[in-house]
Structure 1
Amino acid sequence: MVARVNKKINMAIVGYGYIGKYWEKAILKDNRMNIAGIYDTSINASDSAGHKFYKTFEHLLNDPEINTCIICTPTDNHYTTAMEILSYGKNIVVEKPTVLNMEEYNKLLEKARENHALVFNAFHFVYSPEIAWFRTSIPDLHKEYGKIGSFYSYFSDPYFIDGELKNKALSLLGSWVDSGSNILSMLYSIFDSIRLDSLTFGDSYAGTFSDLFSTASMKFNDSNKDAGFGHTVTNWVSNSSFKYTDFTFPETDSRIRLNHSGLTVTISNDTGSKLLFSAEEENHLLAHYIGLEAAVYEALYSGKGNEEYGKMVYNTMYSPLNGDDANA
């Protein structure tokens, strides 16, 4: 039996940096979960915004009031931190990527089972308003425009400029692991099955997991009988931040664009272009975390994680890097 939470969910934020503060804003806005403490080796108690501050990790782990930890540490520290927290029987919510390979992920799930804890993979991009709208609108879109035949995702971030990696990207590992996990988690929230056919990388800045550019091709299908192919591009060298995904509906020669940067959805066909959806949120990343925080609350309250969802995403993402079949 897992650690279902039947009372106020007391969260500890492990890593109170850029992303940790977005979690804080989302939790305080919703007010269904409680920030019961902060742990971060790089700050002092005076920097914890009035939250309880743990001087050592052991103090946090041994606090019976804490039933769930949100892990916002640097990416290469996610796995070891998660394993230690799980060994104390506490649920974990882990920023993507949760792990750096499938061996780590399988060990993580085994540790969670042994200690009756939940694992929630925090794929924040899935909860961007335009993606959420598109996902819930698919039945109506099918009726009006037919089945989805293909997609194209382009994710650009200004992380490598003038031969130098910018500070915000120092712990992100590379364009495929960072943006690829966003793309794949989005696609798995729409389609039942994805098969990665090819994955190629451009230049790298430091070896393994440090690609600056990637292209991938894949096939998809789902229970709605959507089936087709898609291509993705992740780009850290464009000197701009721009993200979108196009879905084509060949039966009506229509294209629906999800503008992830503008939080809008538009359709284009032989009758012209039309705006289908526009979100009101000004802070795009906060909009992601507000949706994510609500999903985490519902999952923890019902005693469920998203372990299998994470397995699909990470198996597809990492298997090609290990020379394995991404769909085994």
Structure 2
Amino acid sequence: MTPEQSVWFAETFDALVANVGQAVLGKEHVVRLALTCMLAEGHLLLEDAPGTGKTSLAKALAATVQGTHSRIQFTPDLLPSDVTGVTIYDQNTHRFEFHEGPVFASVVLADEINRASPKTQSALLEVMEESKVTVDKVSHPVGRPFMVIATQNPIEQAGTYRLPEAQLDRFLMKTSLGYPDHASTVEILAGSAERDRTAHLTAKITTAAVGDMAVLASTVHTDPAVLDYVARLTEATRTDAQTAIGASVRGALALVRCGKVWAASQGRTYVIPDDVKLLVPPVLEHRLILDTEAEFAGVTARQVLVRVLAETPPPAARV
């Protein structure tokens, strides 16, 4: 990435954030994380209470990048074919035709994903990893960009199925929107007559340009010292006394990918240790499985990561 390209990337990124921010008020940092996730070609898990704007975020992202949006309401009776699509025999043509499911969209909102059975949850594994759906031995690409924004309700666990660790690891980031601040709440209430704040958003970039930005971000320089820092951080999560399973190599790769996009969004052509520090909680927190004794003691994955960051010194010089 050249300095000129980095300036263009940062200006475009800021314009996208500002556009989404018209619908999701007072949550600039979360919007930046979501756009970083999209440009790193990953998926986002939102664990939040109802009514915090998760659907608005997904719709605003799709509208901003001139993409399509779909919503899947996960329920215990939802079937895998309801997500991916189904092949139906057409009596007129005497051929089987594939009818696309709601997963064929630029931004897919998987609402309350932990309410569906593990069988239905697993229908997302292939498409999240490979951006394609295989039905009756035929693969169907979902296009680019493709992003799944899944939500979980942390306050209601009755009738839910915990996401398997293999599926959690496929989410590039996990974060939460939270409630808006007082000023943003007043602004939302003032516009209560407008039920959908995303309806008037205009696209700031095409889906093809999103792919170009993703490719451009992948060319951001990452010094070997920074890569060594990422490796030491993830290894420290595995050897920590309070974790049963730490961050995988996929988690380390996710941290590097997100760091490149974040650096480009700041107008830099290189990743610095502060980029890694800022992204460690949303990228690695959901990948840690705590020891049983630590869970009973009330220890959280966030506390483990804070300690790991404090005990792992960042690089002081380039390699």
After TM superposition, the score normalised by the length of structure 1 is 0.26
After TM superposition, the score normalised by the length of structure 2 is 0.26
Determine which structure has greater relative contact order: mean sequence separation of CA pairs < 8 Å that are 6+ residues apart, divided by chain length. Answer: 2
